[in-house]
Amino acid sequence: MTSTLSQRIQQFYDASSGLWEQVWGEHMHHGYYGADGKQKCDRKQAQIDLIEELLTWAQPQQTASIVDVGCGIGGSSLYLAQKYNATVTGITLSPVQANRAIARAEAAGLSAQAQFKVADALQMPFADESFDLVWTLESGEHMPDKTKFLQECHRVLKPGGTLIMATWCHRDVSPPQSPLNAQENGLLEKIYRIYHLPYVISLPDYAEIAEKINFQHIRTADWSDAVAPFWDDVITSALSFSVIPKILTAGWQTLQGAFALQYMSAGYRQGLIRYGLLRATK
């Protein structure tokens, strides 16, 4: 990951993670609102439901050792550590996130099971075949080299281990689908700029990369309908009188991120932004 991009990502999450935790909780990812997106659910419960639905869908067979790639403040890491009585290592580019995750692990009595490091997902500081499960929830969109990212996930997996990935994608553009048009590219560029994304690809593109890397038993799913209501929920909470002052005092990057919520919501409504899942084994 280029230093400039990694620095921007680090600074964005250093600045915004504290506000996210105060307002939206420990899980920095989408929620699950039923397969059709029509299930009424508390936003925080929907985020837990997403984890459980992902695990049900992917059915990992080995879970004793887990790496959480793009761990945020440790929401998924601690959840998985407790659920499976596993050892979990979370990595993030943000020192603020890593330190907060360490503190949360200590408060939960999970320091012996959960460790957190500042590390680059394209150069993970782990030996080959270190983990039973690679869990990466909404991090792939930040990777400037998607192939290198999946190669690293493959490298650190033990034989028989499972990759579970959920990531932001754009719609399928393979024939007979049409290429992205100017309006779609314009909306993506706004999202890229504010959320510090180099680019996103389609879910079929991810599956093709995984196949070339020699992942086995590859499965994909599009859960865009199931998660799309999340952005409207976040917008609603961001516009509350108690939250607006916090956003205004959190810094320019966080303020920009709040404005960009509308772009993500529009992307889902237009069918441009897709929520892609990939499950594969080594």
Containing 49, the helix (H) or strand (E) segment is helix 43-58
In whole angstroms, give the CA distance from residue 138 to residue 276: 9
Q: Domain segments of the chain: what residues?
A: 3-281
Average pLDDT on 126-130 reads: 98
- CB atoms near residue 237 (< 10 Å): 14
Per residue in 201-242, pLDDT tens?
A: 999 999 999 999 999 999 999 999 999 998 877 766 655 546
Q: What is the pLDDT of residue 255?
A: 47
Does 171 or 4 have the greater pLDDT score?
Answer: 171
* pTM for this prediction: 0.93
Q: Mean pLDDT for the chain? A: 91
Report the CATH fold assignment for 3-281: Rossmann fold (3.40.50)
Q: What is the rounded distance in angstroms from the CA atom of residue 250 to the CA atom of residue 255?
A: 7
